Amino acid sequence: MDDHPDLAALRARLEEEERAYARLLAALDGLAVLPHSAESPDLWQRMTRLNELWAPATPPPPAFPWSSVQRRMDARLAPVLQRQTDFNSTLVQALNGHLEETSRLHGRLAELVSVLVQYLQHVLPVMDARDRVSTALATTRAELVLETFDRRQESLARRLDALLALRDRVETLSEEVRAIRGALEGQVPPVATAARAAGAIEDARYVAFENRFRGGSEDLRERLAGYVDLFAGLAPVVDLGCGRGEFLELLREGGIAGRGVEANAQAAAACRARGLDVVEGDLVDFLGRQPAGSLGGIFAAQVVEHLPPAVLQDALGAAHRALRPGGRLVLETVNTRSVTGFLEVYLRDLTHRTPLHPDTLRFLAAAQGFTDVRVETRSPVDPAARLQAVPAEGLPSRAVEVLNENAARLNALLYGDQEYVLIASR
């Protein structure tokens, strides 16, 4: 942030303005010392002498009687002397008044300069204080805006949740109506029709549940696309519990022959409507009807956790028998070693029967004769939700190392990948 060119230019401009302010303030401080007239002694000496000389001196009494000539001369000179005396008096008074007025003006000017200096000395602190107040007010306004936005966002989130719930309910009811209509159109006894309708309603509800929590078809296709290459050259491939048929479509697009088996009648019918080879039924029964060694691959995503332990072992045994040598088994399920995966994925679905630890599923597969059994994790948690590493600055290196090791262990336990896949060979 400090290296941003605009910020650097702004900082340089501010420093230059502060230097200019300091220069002007120093110059003003120098000008504030005004020369006073009292500092010129020659002027006051001259004014004192002038004040002494302007008053007419009293002539000394004559030493001898005035002659008529002298009287006549005095009579002629008297007006001139009086005029000179009046001029001198007026000049001295004017100079005295000018000096007094100059002194008063000098004092007023010095007072003005002093006030101006004090004002300028307070300009920068006042501007700084105003900037801080403006910043505080801007921060407060921003906080108020964010608080208002948060309240509106919470209100919108509540409304969105209500709309999503309403949408789920509408989708569920639509699926139930279609299921009941299909059951009623069949030519079966009333008791069988009622049972079929009840089963169809249950299937419809689970389809709506998967639509809500597993995501749309495009999202699921993106997640499953990475498994297609595992079955290259291994046709035919069977998708156990194929659901809406996304993986079968990916196999078809990859030129790999595939079939599906699905216990949910609604989902199976939807797959067949899209031209997919899907039968409705139990996956263990389906595998038991396949000729031994007739399949090249078996795939199941989010299925084995729905099976009771005994059924799971039967399914693994039937899969081993149906696969030919070199065939491949791929099973994706919830990673119950991850607290997030267990709480956010496994517990959400009420039809889940058995939480499968990766070591447990690996052991069961090996016990049925599968080889090269390995486990890979999938669906990592958002890194922002994980515990963050402690920066090394300001702390002892060993303390940082221990803290980060503990954070890594907690991340693996609490925020581990939410799913894992078992890959095994026949």
pLDDT band at 286 (very low <50, low <70, confident <90, very high): very high
- Residues in Cβ contact with 364 at an 8 Å cutoff, skipping those fewer than 6 apart: 312, 313, 316
For 142-199, the pLDDT digits (tens) are 777 778 877 877 777 777 766 766 666 666 666 656 666 665 565 444 544 444 545 5
For 220-238, the pLDDT digits (tens) are 899 999 999 999 999 999 9
For 60-98, the pLDDT digits (tens) are 555 555 567 677 777 777 777 777 777 777 777 777 777
Given a cut of 80, is residue 366 above it in pLDDT? yes
pLDDT band at 34 (very low <50, low <70, confident <90, very high): low
Structure tokens belonging to residue 405: 């090791």
pLDDT the model gives residue 98: 74
CA atoms within 13 A on the CB side of 306: 18
Average pLDDT, the chain: 79
Q: Taking Cα atoms as reference points, which of 362, 330, 325, 358 lies closest to residue 228?
A: 330
For residue 170, the SS3 value is helix
pLDDT the model gives residue 107: 74
According to CATH, the topology of domain 215-425 is: Rossmann fold (3.40.50)
For 95-152, the pLDDT digits (tens) are 777 777 777 777 777 777 776 776 666 666 666 666 666 666 667 777 777 788 778 7
Question: Which pTM does this prediction carry?
Answer: 0.55
Domain ranges of the chain: 215-425
